[in-house]
């Protein structure tokens, strides 16, 4: 029978690899890097066979011609390799992936999209690079739409995590399963609401999202120029409260936010917290251990790492 052995929440940023040098000499960057290494060691110690990798996609695998709320990779998985991230085929635990997809449909509560040739980007491949390097594991990649409204509600993401937990525990083959939620905390990206672009940059971005399926690289130079020109907008107070919820095993409380309320308080990029929420639900919201939180304006993002260990959980705080 399968068991769920560890959960990890870890932030990513498109500027991590390309702008390490700008932050290399700063203690907060080193603390974040060390936390990623500690989380990787925890994953290695947990000896997972399979990692359910929950992440976002930044319009390199999904396009405005078709945006599912949830997509499960059930066949090939290819990393796009942008910004110095891993590139090429990734190993997929196809039997478990298809079991989860089938179970969700048969349970009647979810009808996720599936892909037999899923392309992921740094929303997941940063985790492959920093958390899974050298580990002999296969993936079940799950992509959550966090950028093209209407987004799945936070409550729906939490419920999906619980349904995936039930599916994994019912899998008849032996698996040690870890779960990684990959997403930044508070941050605001220079990305428009695709339904109402204003100005040349926003219209360019929406055009890239609509037309980039076969040629996304052609749009990346100007995309990165727009991103690099953005001013950081972080909310460390929100991030601290969120990580406190993680430590207390109360992350489900963020389902009280609507999509609009979350963007207002923590930025449009904070919609990626859905990946942490889903991961925590698969771990049955066991109290977690915070490894790092560092506001990184150079990367436009609040960066954090936490580990949820169901065998040795943190004591639930009163």
Identify the CATH number of the domain in which residue 80 sits: 3.40.830.10
Number of domains, the chain: 2
Would the pTM count as exceeding 0.85? yes
Same domain, 107 and 198: no
Tell me: pLDDT of 318 over 50.
no
For 48-61, write each residue's pLDDT tens digit. 999 999 999 999 99
Of the pLDDT bands very low, low, confident and very high (cuts 50, 70, 90), residue 1 is confident
List, in order, residues 6 or more apart from 242 with CB less than 8 Å away.
185, 251, 254, 273
Query: Do 80 and 212 sit in the same domain of this protein?
Result: no
Are residues 104 and 225 both part of a single domain?
A: no
Res 224: pLDDT: 86
Residues 6+ apart with CB under 8 A from 105: 111, 112
Q: Is residue 54 in a domain?
A: yes
Q: Give yes or no: residues 199 and 240 share one domain.
A: no
C-beta separation of 215 from 43 below 8 A? no
pLDDT of amino acid 83: 84
pLDDT band for position 15 (cuts 50, 70, 90): confident
- Residue 59 located in a structural domain: yes
Whether residue 313 lies inside any domain: the answer is: no
CA distances from 30 to 38, 292, 294, 296 (A): 12, 10, 10, 11
Mean pLDDT of 230-254: 96
69 and 197 belong to one structural domain:
no
State the average pLDDT over residues 105-122: 96
Can you give the three-state secondary structure of 205-242, one letter per residue? HHHHHHHCCCCCHHHHHHHHHHHHCCCCCCCHHHHHHH
Q: What is the mean pLDDT of residues 234-262?
A: 98
At 113, the pLDDT band (50, 70, 90 cuts) reads: very high
Predicted pLDDT at 17: 80
Residue 315 domain flag: no
Residue 22 predicted with pLDDT over 90: no
My answer on whether 182 and 117 are in the same domain is yes
pLDDT band at 14 (very low <50, low <70, confident <90, very high): confident
Do 166 and 290 belong to one domain?
yes
Q: Mark whether 75 and 111 lie in a shared domain.
A: yes
* Domain final residue, candidates 207, 229, 251: 229
Determine what percent of the chain falls in helix, strand and coil, rounding each to the nearest 5: 45, 20, 35
Domain match, 116 and 220 both: no
- Within this chain, do residues 249 and 128 fall inside the same structural domain, yes or no? yes
pLDDT band (50, 70, 90) for residue 112: very high
**Residue 316 falls within a domain, yes or no?**
no
State mean pLDDT over 64-69. 96
CA distance 10 to 116: 26
What is the residue-averaged pLDDT of the chain? 94
- Are 172 and 283 in the same domain? yes
Please check whether residues 8 and 96 belong to one and the same domain: yes
Q: pLDDT for 130-159, tens place per residue?
A: 999 999 999 999 999 999 999 999 999 999
The boundaries of the domain holding residue 212 are 193-229
Are 126 and 110 a contacting pair, CB within 8 Å? no
What are the tens digits of pLDDT across the range 207-227?
999 999 989 989 988 998 998
pLDDT > 60? residue 264: yes
Task: Express each pLDDT in 169-211 by its tens digit.
Answer: 999 999 999 999 999 999 999 999 999 999 999 999 999 999 9
């Amino acid at each position: 029978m399968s068991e769920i052995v560890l959960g990890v929440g870890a932030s990513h940023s498109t500027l991590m690899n390309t702008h390490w040098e700008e932050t290399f000499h700063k203690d907060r960057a080193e603390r974040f890097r060390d936390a990623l290494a500690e989380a990787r060691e925890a994953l290695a110690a947990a000896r997972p066979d399979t990692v359910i990798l929950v992440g976002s996609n930044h319009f390199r695998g999904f396009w405005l011609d078709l945006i599912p709320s949830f997509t499960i990779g059930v066949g090939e998985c290819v990393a796009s390799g942008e910004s110095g991230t891993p590139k090429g085929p990734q190993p997929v635990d196809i039997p478990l992936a298809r079991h989860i997809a089938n179970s969700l449909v048969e349970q009647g509560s979810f009808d996720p999209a599936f892909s037999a040739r899923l392309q992921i980007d740094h929303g997941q491949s940063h985790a492959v690079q920093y958390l899974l390097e050298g580990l002999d594991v296969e993936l079940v990649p799950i992509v959550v739409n966090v950028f093209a409204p209407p987004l799945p509600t936070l409550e729906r993401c939490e419920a999906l995590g619980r349904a995936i937990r039930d599916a994994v525990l019912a899998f008849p083959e032996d698996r040690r399963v870890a779960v990684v939620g990959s997403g930044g905390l508070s941050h605001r990206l220079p990305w428009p609401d695709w339904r109402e672009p204003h100005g040349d940059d926003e219209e360019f971005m929406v055009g890239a999202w609509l037309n980039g399926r076969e040629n996304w690289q052609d749009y990346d130079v100007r995309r990165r120029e727009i991103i690099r020109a953005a001013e950081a907008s972080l909310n460390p107070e929100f991030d601290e409260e969120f990580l406190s919820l993680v430590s207390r095993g109360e992350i489900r409380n963020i389902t009280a936010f609507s999509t609009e309320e979350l963007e207002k308080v923590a930025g449009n990029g904070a919609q990626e917290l859905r990946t942490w929420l889903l991961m925590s639900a698969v771990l049955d919201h066991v109290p977690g251990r915070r490894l790092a939180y560092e506001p990184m304006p150079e990367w436009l993002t609040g960066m954090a790492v936490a580990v949820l260990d169901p065998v040795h959980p943190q004591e639930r705080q009163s």
